[in-house]
Chain A
C-alpha cells in the first residue's frame, strides 16, 4: 500500500515537473519576482534617504524620486511576472491537455467513469494546474533567493540588524519544521474538510431517489446538518493548531520589525547597554527598518500560493491515473474483407461486475453483412467495441481470419465506423469527411458526400464542401450528422465496416433515406450492423439475434 502510494507520489512529482518544463519563461518569471525584491530595496533606500535628507535639511527630492521610481518598478515587475506566468501556464496546459486527450481516447470503456468524468480530467483538472505553473512554481524559486538579497542589503549597512533578521529566521524555520509546513497544513486541512463535506453532500444527492422513496430526506437533512457542523467544528480544532504555524510566520515577521526598530533606535540614541560594533546614522537605521518586512514577504507570498500546489497535486493524481489506465492497442492491419468469428466470447467492462455479453458465438463470412439485433443492454455495441479494442474479452476466442484477436490488439485502423452520433470536428465539411482517408482527392470526397445524400446540405451552404462547421455542430441536424458519418465510411477503403445503431432516433422517413446509403457502404466489405430497426436489418445478408443477458 505504502509503496504504491510512493510510486503514485513519484509519478505525480514527475508529472508536475514535466508540466512546468524547462521553459525559459519560468526563469524570466522568477527573475521578475527577484527584481521586485531588488526594487523593494531601492524603495527602502529612497525612503530612508529622503527622511535623512529632511532631518539634515538637505534636498530630498532626488531620494523621493528614487523611491517613486523603485515603487512603480515593483508594480511593473509584479505585473509582468503575472503575465509571463500566465503565458507559461497557458502553454503548459496545452501540452498537458494534448497528453490527457490522447490518454482519454485510449481508455477502455468502463461504465460511469467514461465520458463525463474523463472530460472533466481533460478540461477542469488540466485547468487546475494553472496556479501551480503560473504562480507557485516561480514564487517557490524566488522565495529561496529573495530573502538573501534583502539580507545582503541589510548587512551592508548594519551587521547587527542582519543578524537580528537571521536570528528570527532560525526559530521561524524551526517552528515551521516542527509544526509541519504552516501553509501546507492549513490548506490541506481546509481542502480535505471541504472535500469530505462535499463528498457527503454529493453522496446524499446521488442517493436522492432512494431517500425520496423512503421519505428519508428530512432525516438525511438532519444527518447532513449534524455532519456539516461536526466537520466544521473538527476542522476548526485542526485549524487552530495549523494557524499557530502561520502565526509563527507572522510573529517572527512582526518581531523582526520590532527588534530592528528598537535596536536601530537605541543605536542612534547611543543608549544601547552594550557597545555596538557599528554606529548607525539615520539613513542606515531607517533603511534597515523599511527593509525588515521585505525579508519575510517572499515566504508569505509562498504561503498564500500554497493552495495552488494543493489543487495541482489533486488534479495531477487524476491525470496520472488517466494515463496509467490508458490501454492503447496494437493495430492489426487487414488487406481483404475478413472473416470474423466469435466463439463463446464473454465481454465485461473494466470495473463492472456484470458481463456485457456472455458466451456469444457467431461467425461472419468475408464480404458478408450481418445485422446484430437484440434489446438494448443485450451487448450489440459491446461486440463492435471488442473489435476495436474498447471492450476487453474475458473468455472465449475472438478470431479474425482464423487468427485470435487478443486483448491489446485491435482492428481499429482497418475499420470504417459509423456511429449514432458521428464525431464533428472543427473545420470544413470536406475536412470532416476526409478524416476517413486523408489522402483522398477532392473529387473522391465530393463523390462520397453526394452518395451519402449530403448534396442538399452542400448546396444550401455558402462555400459548399468548404463551408466551415463550428465546434457546436453548426446547425447540422441529427440526420445530416449521420450522413457525414456515412460519407466517411463510403470514402474509407477499410475492409471491415461497423455500424453502431446508425439509424437510432430517426423517424421512418429519414431512416428510409439512409438505408440505401448504408447498403452501398456495405458492398465489398465485411459488415456488422448493430440495430433495433427491422427495416435496416433487411440490408443485411443475415440477422443474428442476441438474447437478453441472463
Chain B
C-alpha cells in the first residue's frame, strides 16, 4: 500500500465533502472577485448617473446591482464557512486513515525496523510527517478557490475587453511561475537549514550525553558551544526568510501591476467598466494567495509523503513450518522442557536473560542454537508461529493508554469479565482495580501513569494471565514488589499453574522462594554465543 493509494481510497470515501468543498471553494473565489468588481462598477456608474441629473438617476437600474452586492456578500461568507467545514471534514477523515495504515505497515515490518520506529527521533519524525501530510490534505480546496478566483476574474474582465483579460491572465501566470521559481531556488536554502538543524541536534545531544564532564570542567562555557551551530542555523534561516520575503514583494507588485494594467487597457471603455476591471484584477491576484501558499509548501508535503511512503511499503514475508504442536515442547540453551514444566532463568544483568525471552517472541533477530520449539530452531520459525505459544509479561511493564479492560484484552480479545477478574486476582491486583470508581473500565492514563511501578508490573502480569498460551514468559515479575505481595503472588501463581497446566519460563535475578517444581538455568554459567553483542543490540 502506498501513500497515494491510502489517500486515493480516502478521497473516494470522502468524495461528497471533497466535492462540496471544491464547489464551495469555486464559489468563494468567484464571489470575492465579483463582490468588489461589481461594487466598483456600481459606484462609478451611480456617480455618473447621479451627476447626469435626477432623471437619469431614477432611470438607472440600481436595484439589481445593489441586491447582487448584498447577495454576493452573504454567499461569500456562507460559502467560505462551508468550504472550511467540508474541506476539514474530508481532510481530517482522509488523514484518519494515515495512522492506522502506517501502524499496520510498521507492525508488519522486519522486527528491527519496526522497533526502531517506535521511539525517539524516528517516532517524532513520523508524527511530524503525518501532521504535514494532514495539513496539506485539509488545504486541498485551495486550488478550487483559486480556480473560482480565475473564473470570476475572467468573467468580469471580459466585460472590459480581451486585452484587459489577457493582460491580467498573463500577470497571474507570471506570478505563479515566479513563485515556483523562488520556491525552487529556496529548496537548497531549505536543505542548508535542515543540515544546520541536524548539526545543532548533534551538538545538543553531545553536550547532554557528556553532562557529567560538562559539569566538572566548564559549566559556564556550555552555552558557547551551542552558539556556533546556533549561529549557522540562524544565518541559514535568515537566507531562507530573505527568499520567502521576496515572495511578498513579487505578490504585491503583481497585484498592483495587474490592477494598473487592467485599468490602463480598459480606459477606452466606460469609466465604470475601467473601475470594475481594476478592482477585479486586484482581487483576482489577491485571491490566488492560498494557492501560492500551497505551492510554497508543496515541497515539504511531498518530502514528508515520500518518507511516509518508505515506511508504508515495507513488509516481510514468512512461511509457516509444519510440525509444531499446540502444546509445544521447548528447548532452552540445550535444556529440554516438556509442556507444563517450569524453569527459572537466572544470571547477572547483562547475561542475556531478557534477550533470550525476546528471541522466543521474535522481538529480536534470533541467534541460531539458543532455543528450539518441538525440535525446530526458533531461527527457522516465523513470528506468527512463535508468538501464539507464549503469554508474556515484559520487564518494562509497559501499558497502553486506555482502560484496564483495554490493557487486559490485548492478550485475548473477547475474554469474559470473570476471566479478567481471575487474572487480576492471581496478579494480586484485584483489590486495587475494585477500589477504582469505574472498575475494569477505569482509564489508566498514558503508559499507566495512574498506577505505581509495582501496580503497572502486576497489571502487565495480569495481562499475561489472561492469555491461554501454553507457556507463560514472565520477565522479572517480582521487581518492585514488597515481600508480602511477592509471597502472595507466588502463592497464587502456584495455584494458577496447577489449574491451567501452562508451562512457565520466569526470568528473575533473585530467587523465587515458594515457587514449586522449579528447575533452574543459570545464564552466567552457560556460555551463550554472541550474547554480549545481542544484549546491546
Asked if B368 lies at the interface with its beta carbon under 8 angstroms from chain A, I say: no
* Min CB gap B274→A, angstroms: 6
Asked if B509 lies at the interface with its beta carbon under 8 angstroms from chain A, I say: yes
* B103 lies within 8 A of A202 (CB): no
- As a 0/1 sequence over residues 475 to 502 of chain A, the CB contacts with chain B under 8 angstroms (1 = contact) are 0000000000100100010100010100
Asked if A251 lies at the interface with its beta carbon under 8 angstroms from chain B, I say: yes
Asked if B144 lies at the interface with its beta carbon under 8 angstroms from chain A, I say: no
* Min CB gap A293→B, angstroms: 7
* Min CB gap A531→B, angstroms: 14
Task: Please report which residues of chain B, range 125-183, place their CB below 8 angstroms from some CB of chain A when the two chains form the complex.
Answer: 126-127, 130-131, 134
Q: Which residues of B contact A426 (CB under 8 A)?
A: 203, 225, 228-229
Task: Please report which residues of chain B, range 167-204, place their CB below 8 angstroms from some CB of chain A when the two chains form the complex.
Answer: 197, 199-204
How far is B189's CA from A86's CA once the two chains are assembled, in angstroms? Answer: 15
Q: Output the nearest chain B residue to A353 by Cβ-Cβ distance.
A: B453
* Known contacts A50-B263, A54-B274, A412-B219; A270/B50 CB under 8 A: yes
Task: Please report which residues of chain A, range 320-337, place their CB below 8 angstroms from some CB of chain B when the two chains form the complex.
Answer: none
Q: Which residues of A contact B230 (CB under 8 A)?
A: 93-94, 97
Give the total of B residues in contact with A, Cβ under 8 Å.
Answer: 154
Q: Which residues of A contact B274 (CB under 8 A)?
A: 51, 54
Task: Please report which residues of chain B, range 370-400, place their CB below 8 angstroms from some CB of chain A when the two chains form the complex.
Answer: 383-384, 387-388, 390-392, 394, 398-400
* A87 lies within 8 A of B238 (CB): yes
Task: Please report which residues of chain A, range 92-143, place their CB below 8 angstroms from some CB of chain B when the two chains form the complex.
Answer: 93-94, 97-98, 101-102, 104-107, 109, 114-116, 118-120, 122-123, 127, 130, 134
Interface size class of A (residues with CB under 8 A): 35 or more
**14 A–B contacts from the bound complex (CB under 8 Å):** A67-B259, A76-B252, A87-B238, A105-B207, A198-B131, A212-B111, A213-B392, A215-B384, A215-B387, A220-B410, A224-B100, A286-B275, A353-B453, A375-B348
Asked if B35 lies at the interface with its beta carbon under 8 angstroms from chain A, I say: yes
* B95 lies within 8 A of A212 (CB): no
* A384 lies within 8 A of B212 (CB): yes
* B213 lies within 8 A of A423 (CB): yes
Q: Which residues of B contact A119 (CB under 8 A)?
A: 201, 204-205, 208
- As a 0/1 sequence over residues 253 to 275 of chain B, the CB contacts with chain A under 8 angstroms (1 = contact) are 10111011001100100010011
Q: Output the nearest chain A residue to B56 by Cβ-Cβ distance.
A: A269
Q: Output the nearest chain A residue to B363 by Cβ-Cβ distance.
A: A209
Q: Which segment, of A11-19, A257-265, A359-367, faces chain B?
A: A257-265
Asked if A167 lies at the interface with its beta carbon under 8 angstroms from chain B, I say: no
Q: Which residues of B contact A222 (CB under 8 A)?
A: 100
Q: Which residues of A contact B510 (CB under 8 A)?
A: 550
Q: Which residues of B contact A436 (CB under 8 A)?
A: 217
Task: Please report which residues of chain B, range 204-253, place their CB below 8 angstroms from some CB of chain A when the two chains form the complex.
Answer: 204-219, 221-223, 225-231, 234, 237-238, 241-242, 244-246, 248-253
* B205 lies within 8 A of A377 (CB): no
* Known contacts A214-B467, A494-B216; A421/B210 CB under 8 A: yes
Asked if A408 lies at the interface with its beta carbon under 8 angstroms from chain B, I say: no
Q: Which segment, of A148-156, A172-180, A240-248, A453-461, faces chain B?
A: A240-248
Asked if A197 lies at the interface with its beta carbon under 8 angstroms from chain B, I say: yes
* Known contacts A194-B131, A201-B127, A286-B43; A55/B244 CB under 8 A: no
How far is B120's CA from A202's CA once the two chains are assembled, in angstroms? Answer: 10
* Known contacts A116-B121, A208-B107, A232-B96; A247/B81 CB under 8 A: yes
Q: Which residues of B contact A413 (CB under 8 A)?
A: 216
How far is B271's CA from A211's CA once the two chains are assembled, in angstroms? Answer: 73
* A204 lies within 8 A of B103 (CB): yes
Asked if A471 lies at the interface with its beta carbon under 8 angstroms from chain B, I say: yes
Most chain A CB inside 10 Å of its own CB: which residue of B85, B120, B222, B252? B252
Asked if B40 lies at the interface with its beta carbon under 8 angstroms from chain A, I say: yes
State which of B102, B241, B350 has its C-beta within 8 Å of the C-beta of A86: B241
Q: Output the nearest chain A residue to B264 by Cβ-Cβ distance.
A: A64
* Min CB gap B410→A, angstroms: 5
Task: Please report which residues of chain A, range 405-426, place their CB below 8 angstroms from some CB of chain B when the two chains form the complex.
Answer: 410, 412-413, 415-417, 419, 421-426
Helix, strand, loop or mixed for chain B's interface? helix
Q: Output the nearest chain A residue to B239 by Cβ-Cβ distance.
A: A86
State which of A71, A80, A202, A281 has its C-beta within 8 Å of the C-beta of B245: A80
Q: Which residues of A contact B434 (CB under 8 A)?
A: none
* Known contacts A201-B99, A353-B452, A375-B348; A251/B77 CB under 8 A: yes
* Min CB gap A381→B, angstroms: 9
Task: Please report which residues of chain A, range 42-77, place their CB below 8 angstroms from some CB of chain B when the two chains form the complex.
Answer: 43, 47, 50-51, 54-55, 60, 64, 67-68, 70-72, 74-76
Asked if A1 lies at the interface with its beta carbon under 8 angstroms from chain B, I say: no
Asked if A160 lies at the interface with its beta carbon under 8 angstroms from chain B, I say: no
Q: Which residues of B contact A97 (CB under 8 A)?
A: 226, 230
Asked if B58 lies at the interface with its beta carbon under 8 angstroms from chain A, I say: yes
Q: Output the nearest chain A residue to B67 by Cβ-Cβ distance.
A: A262
Q: Which segment, of B68-76, B298-306, B319-327, B419-427, faces chain A?
A: B68-76
Q: Which segment, of A385-393, A394-402, A513-521, A533-541, faces chain B?
A: A385-393
Asked if A254 lies at the interface with its beta carbon under 8 angstroms from chain B, I say: yes
- As a 0/1 sequence over residues 210 to 251 of chain A, the CB contacts with chain B under 8 angstroms (1 = contact) are 111111111111111100110111011001100110110011
Q: Which residues of B contact A8 (CB under 8 A)?
A: none
State which of B106, B279, B509 has its C-beta within 8 Å of the C-beta of A205: B106
* B208 lies within 8 A of A115 (CB): yes
Asked if A289 lies at the interface with its beta carbon under 8 angstroms from chain B, I say: yes
How far is B274's CA from A307's CA once the two chains are assembled, in angstroms? Answer: 40
* Min CB gap B260→A, angstroms: 5
Q: Output the nearest chain A residue to B225 by Cβ-Cβ distance.
A: A425
* A79 lies within 8 A of B114 (CB): no
How far is B276's CA from A261's CA once the two chains are assembled, in angstroms? Answer: 13
Asked if B480 lies at the interface with its beta carbon under 8 angstroms from chain A, I say: yes
Task: Please report which residues of chain B, range 318-374, place their CB below 8 angstroms from some CB of chain A when the two chains form the complex.
Answer: 348-350, 358, 361-363
Q: Which residues of B contact A122 (CB under 8 A)?
A: 204, 208, 226
* A376 lies within 8 A of B350 (CB): yes
* A75 lies within 8 A of B46 (CB): no
Q: Which residues of A contact B454 (CB under 8 A)?
A: 353
* B213 lies within 8 A of A417 (CB): yes
* A213 lies within 8 A of B363 (CB): yes
State which of A55, A198, A384 has its C-beta within 8 Å of the C-beta of B130: A198
Q: Which residues of A contact B348 (CB under 8 A)?
A: 375, 548
Additional A-B contact list (18), CB under 8 Å, known A60-B267, A212-B114: A105-B222, A116-B121, A119-B208, A201-B130, A205-B103, A206-B447, A209-B361, A216-B410, A218-B104, A219-B413, A220-B410, A225-B97, A229-B93, A229-B96, A243-B81, A247-B84, A269-B60, A435-B218
List the 7 shortest-distance A-B pairs measured between CB atoms, nearest first.
A71-B256, A75-B252, A423-B210, A86-B241, A228-B96, A261-B39, A353-B453
Q: Which residues of B contact A273 (CB under 8 A)?
A: none
* A205 lies within 8 A of B117 (CB): yes
Asked if A271 lies at the interface with its beta carbon under 8 angstroms from chain B, I say: yes
* B106 lies within 8 A of A101 (CB): no
* Min CB gap A17→B, angstroms: 21
* A235 lies within 8 A of B216 (CB): no
* A268 lies within 8 A of B50 (CB): yes
State which of A118, A254, A262 has its C-beta within 8 Å of the C-beta of B66: A262
* Known contacts A250-B80, A254-B73, A548-B349; A268/B43 CB under 8 A: yes
Q: Which residues of B contact A80 (CB under 8 A)?
A: 245
Q: Which residues of A contact B279 (CB under 8 A)?
A: 47, 290
* Min CB gap B273→A, angstroms: 10
Q: Output the nearest chain B residue to A421 by Cβ-Cβ distance.
A: B209
Q: Which residues of A contact B121 (CB under 8 A)?
A: 116
How far is B383's CA from A269's CA once the two chains are assembled, in angstroms? Answer: 84
Q: Which residues of A contact B488 (CB under 8 A)?
A: none
Q: Which residues of A contact B221 (CB under 8 A)?
A: 435
* A90 lies within 8 A of B234 (CB): yes
Asked if A203 lies at the interface with its beta carbon under 8 angstroms from chain B, I say: yes
Asked if B24 lies at the interface with its beta carbon under 8 angstroms from chain A, I say: no
* B509 lies within 8 A of A105 (CB): no
How far is B134's CA from A291's CA once the two chains are assembled, in angstroms? Answer: 36
State which of A221, A258, A264 has its C-beta within 8 Å of the C-beta of B103: A221
* A105 lies within 8 A of B215 (CB): yes
Asked if B314 lies at the interface with its beta carbon under 8 angstroms from chain A, I say: no
